[in-house]
Amino acid sequence: DAKTTQPTSMDCAEGRAANLPCNHSTISGNEYVYWYRQIHSQGPQYIIHGLKNNETNEMASLIITEDRKSSTLILPHATLRDTAVYYCIVRVATGNAGNMLTFGGGTRLMVKP
């Protein structure tokens, strides 16, 4: 699976949008971009995923650049409970090989009052 690069940490004011970038310049055509987060020591929580089109759900929006080399996760109105480590993961979507999720260091988002 392609490697991802994320900033180590970010701050965001409560109520403002949090924009978390991710670089995945070696992504292949059959690889999806997944986002998870881990709040404190809880189990990772799935947020959203996409292939090449922008995606939106009740939690967040995912913007993928046209060349697919980078993406941005957007939390439209961050709350204190969004403080967590956010992981951007690129993953092959076919066959049994590559079923694992490879977690990097992620971005530690701190939402401040």
Partner 1 sequence: NAGVMQNPRHLVRRRGQEARLRCSPMKGHSHVYWYRQLPEEGLKFMVYLQKENIIDESGMPKERFSAEFPKEGPSILRIQQVVRGDSAAYFCASSPLRTSGRGRTDTQYFGPGTRLTVL
Under rule CB under 8 A, residue 108 binds partner 1 = no
Angle formed at CA 39 by CA 60 and CA 108, multiple of 5 degrees:
75
Q: Give the largest CA-CA distance in the chain.
A: 45
| Cα distance between residue 87 and residue 35, in whole Å | 6
Q: How far is the CB of 52 from partner 1 (least distance, A)?
A: 9
Under rule CB under 8 A, residue 8 binds partner 1 = no
Q: How many residues bind partner 1 (CB under 8 A)?
A: 25
- For 41: left if phi > 0, alpha if psi spans -120 to 50, otherwise beta; the answer is alpha
Q: How far is the CB of 33 from partner 1 (least distance, A)?
A: 12
| Cα distance between residue 92 and residue 74, in whole Å | 23
Angle formed at CA 54 by CA 50 and CA 55, multiple of 5 degrees:
65
Under rule CB under 8 A, residue 94 binds partner 1 = yes
Binding to partner 1, residues 72-91 (CB under 8 A): none
The smaller minimum CB distance to partner 1, of residues 37 and 82, is found at: 37
Binding to partner 1, residues 44-63 (CB under 8 A): 44-46, 49, 51
Binding site for partner 1 (CB under 8 A): 30, 32, 34, 36, 38, 41-46, 49, 51, 93-94, 96-97, 99-106
